[in-house]
A and B are shown apart, each in its own frame.
Chain A
Amino acid sequence: MTAPRPRDKRVSLDDAAAEVTDGMTIGIGGWGSRRKPMALLRALLRSDVRDLTVVSFGGPDVGLLCAAGKVRELVYGFVSLDSIPYDPYFQQARQSGRVRVRELDEGMVVTGLRAAAQRLPFLPMRAGLGSDVLTHDTSLRTVRSPYPDAEELVAMPAVRLDVAFVHLDFADRHGNAGYRGVDPYFDDLFCLAARRRFLSCERIVPTEELLADASPQALLLNRMMVDGVVEAPNGAHFTSCDPEYGRDERFQKEYVADAAAGRSWAELAERYVGPDEAAYQAGLNDTRTVDA
């Protein structure tokens, strides 16, 4: 190998979180309570950033950002914890009227990200027609086919992101990354739709080893799509990162139970964010030791 190495994009969780400033639009990868970039989220939750617009196939990422009071507007098709239908902190935020929402069909979120990824103003689709998605989001427009069918379609506008956070199984230091699970979700689209893209991963490997136990198709991101890489083992906790680890169902149940207990953000942050990532992860081990 004679060409020089591309640049090293390793950063810290705090470096990545610091790229998010007040009022920005952030996109969060994963789906529901699956492969969420929770370590990056925890770093963001430790910062004093506020008034965010959050685009997500929502899970506890949305719940925690709502609980922390960091959200001005939510853009989503759903928010769910998968094994538990509803996220209680999202419900509380909605029911208090504190956050603005753009409630979209989940396919509309995909299409909006795709339009942004392709630098298009919109992409046509049928989803949304006739539903109250178009009633309540008055920014949405329809477009008529210029061809003889003249069909009226939703003109789904580009969902452009300032920053994207995603979590994958493995990456090299340059930002090439892959997953070993069954579903890539839409992490590539989040990166393509964003100006600044930050990737956490279970482990950083030498470039030569990217294909050691994955097919080329499993390399979802290439380094053109990534600005910063962080090694964050167990970084999707408590969401799943199959086959590396499953969802921590017991922890998720406690997260839900704590919503009913009416705890302050400071109390919640102690458990679900921690003073730093190392302390958060160490706390999990302590709990497990005590229970064993």
Chain B
Amino acid sequence: MTEPTRADVCAVACADLFAGAGEILASPMGTMPLIGARLARRSFAPDLLLSDGQALLLADAPPLGGTAPAEGGLPYRKVFDVVAAGTRHVVMGANQLDRFGNQNISHIGPHEQPARAMFGPRGAPGNTINHRTSYWVPRHSRRVFVDAVDFVSGVGTDRAAKVGAPFHDLHRVVTNLGVLGFGGPDRSLRLLTVHPGVTVDEVVAATSFPVVGDEVGTTRRPTEEELRLLDRIDPDRFRDKEVPA
């Protein structure tokens, strides 16, 4: 049996985000979530909808950089309709993330004169308030997992509770070290599993706030079939560049 790399485990953990998703639009931001969504579509989530990252819905899950026949059009105006309708699961990145899953992709430092300007809020406020949202963090560190984010782009569980937010639905955070959910006290982040070869202490050391509950499992290993699919979806192993072995 082929021994899976850490990146293989991360890709499958990203795929598992879409387990039981049904007929919704998967919107993966970044290489690993993209590989994960295509793996899910090729295996246990055949009803998932995938876009080409431009304006087409793909009828297949092609390799990275490859193309597939279209099954529909999805220009940005329709993306906003899907966001409002809620039939979407977005996997976003995060420059900062706090214990309630408040996410920052706007800027680091004060709003009036940031030390580092990034994108702006993008669609994060609208995504998080409207439909299921997960995060992918390729380098689990105290720089990302902070006590307080500098700008709340994606809305966390604490703020959502204050404003009502009937469709707010933070699901999981997948990192290079493990998988976290929101089952901690007051719906805070809680470590669910560490990837094979990672210790709980490594996660604790790389996180600014407590995340360990009573039980921490181990992230499942990819099946042989999943490893075969991964090599077809990502033959050049871009996933290993994002998460080195």
Chain A contact residues, CB within 8 Å of chain B? 31, 58, 76-80, 85-86, 90-91, 94-97, 101, 103-108, 110, 125-133, 135-136, 151-152, 181-186
Distance A17 CA – B18 CA, assembled complex (angstroms): 49
Q: How far is the CB of B46 from chain A (nearest CB, A)?
A: 25
Contact partner, A104, options B75, B112, B119, B121, Cβ 8 Å: B121
Known pairs A95-B115, A95-B117, A130-B159; A151 contacts B122 (CB<8 A): no
Report which of B75, B106, B113 forms a contact with A96, defined as CB distance below 8 A: B113
Closest 3 CB pairs of A and B: A127-B126, A97-B113, A94-B117
The answer to whether A129 touches B115 (Cβ under 8 A) is no
Pair A91/B121 contact, Cβ less than 8 Å: no
Question: What residues of chain B lie closer than 8 Å to A152, measured between beta carbons?
Answer: 163-164
Contacts of B111 in A (CB 8 A): 101, 103, 132, 136
B74-88 to A contact mask, C-beta < 8 Å, 1/0: 011100100110000
> Which A residues are in CB contact (< 8 Å) with B154?
131
Nearest B residue to A151 by beta-carbon distance? B164
- Can you name 22 A-B residue pairings with CB atoms under 8 Å? A77-B120, A77-B122, A78-B122, A85-B118, A85-B119, A86-B118, A91-B116, A94-B113, A97-B113, A105-B122, A105-B125, A107-B84, A127-B130, A128-B126, A129-B163, A129-B165, A130-B165, A132-B106, A133-B121, A184-B75, A185-B76, A186-B76
In this complex, how many residues of chain B approach chain A with their Cβ under 8 Å: the count is: 46
Check if A31 sits within 8 Å of B76, measured CB to CB: yes
Are B152 and A131 touching (Cβ within 8 A)? Answer: yes
Interface presence of B241 (CB below 8 A): no
**A183–B77 Cα gap in the complex (Å)?**
9
Contact code string B138-156 (vs A, CB < 8 Å = 1, else 0): 0000000000000111111
Measured in the bound complex, the distance between the Cα atoms of B188 and A200 in whole Å is 51
A108: which B residues are within 8 A, CB to CB?
125-126
Give residues in B with beta carbon < 8 Å to A: 54-56, 73, 75-77, 80, 83-84, 106-107, 111-126, 128-130, 151-156, 159-160, 162-168
Cα(A185)–Cα(B120), bound, Å:
19
Instruction: Beyond the given A126-B130, A129-B125, A130-B156, please list 10 additional residue pairs across the A-B interface where CB-CB is below 8 A.
Output: A91-B116, A103-B151, A105-B126, A106-B121, A128-B129, A129-B164, A130-B159, A131-B129, A131-B155, A135-B152
Q: Closest approach, in angstroms, between the C-beta of A33 and any C-beta of chain B? A: 13
Q: Could you tell me the distance in whole angstroms from the C-beta of A56 to the nearest C-beta in chain B?
A: 11
A185 to B78, CA, bound (A): 10
State how many angstroms separate the Cβ of B82 from the closest Cβ of chain A: 11
Q: Report chain B residues within 8 Å CB of A105.
A: 121-126
Q: How far is the CB of B80 from chain A (nearest CB, A)?
A: 5
Residue contact B106 to A130, C-beta cutoff 8 Å: no
Q: Which residue of A lies closest to B78 (CB)?
A: A183
Query: Is there an interface contact between B152 and A103, defined as CB atoms closer than 8 Å?
Result: no
A107–B129 alpha-carbon span in the complex (Å)? 12
B40 to chain A, nearest CB (A): 25
| A96 vs B115: C-alpha distance when bound (angstroms) | 9
A252 to B176, CA, bound (A): 32
CB proximity of A95 to chain B, nearest CB, Å: 6
CB neighbours of A126 from chain B (8 A): 84, 126, 129-130, 165, 167
CA gap between A128 and B80 in the complex, in Å: 14
Give the distance in Å from the alpha carbon of A71 to the alpha carbon of B114 in the complex: 17
CB contact under 8 A between A130 and B160, given known A78-B120, A91-B116, A182-B54: yes
**B118 partner residues in chain A, CB cutoff 8 A:** 85-86
Q: What is the distance, in angstroms, from A204's C-beta to the closest C-beta of chain B? A: 25
B56 near A182 (CB under 8 angstroms)? yes
Measured CA separation A96–B112 after assembly (Å)? 9
A103 touches B120 (CB 8 A): yes
Contact of B119 with A132 in the complex, beta carbons under 8 Å: no
Asked if A132 contacts B54 (CB within 8 A), the reply is: no
B128: A residues at CB distance < 8 A: 130-131
Residues on A with C-beta less than 8 A from B160 are: 130
Q: How far is the CA of A77 from the CA of B80 in the complex (A)?
A: 13
B119 touches which one: A79, A101, A125, A184 (CB < 8 A)?
Answer: A79
Interface centre among B83, B117, B124, B155 (most CB of A within 10 A): B117
Tell which of A76, A128, A135 touches B120, judged by Cβ atoms closer than 8 Å: A76
Q: B125 to A131, Cβ gap below 8 A?
A: yes
- Central interface residue in A77, A90, A103, A128, by most chain B CB within 10 Å: A103
Nearest Cβ on chain A to B168's Cβ, whole angstroms: 8
Task: Find out whether the CB atom of A127 lies under 8 angstroms from the CB atom of B113.
Answer: no
Could you say which of B56, B112, B164 contacts A97, with CB atoms under 8 Å apart? B112
- The one of B80, B107, B117, B153 in contact with A131, judged by C-beta atoms closer than 8 angstroms, is B153
B120 surroundings in chain A (CB, below 8 A): 58, 76-79, 103
On chain A, the residues within 8 Å of B162 by CB distance are 130
Name the B residues within 8 Å of A103 (CB-CB).
106, 111, 120-121, 151
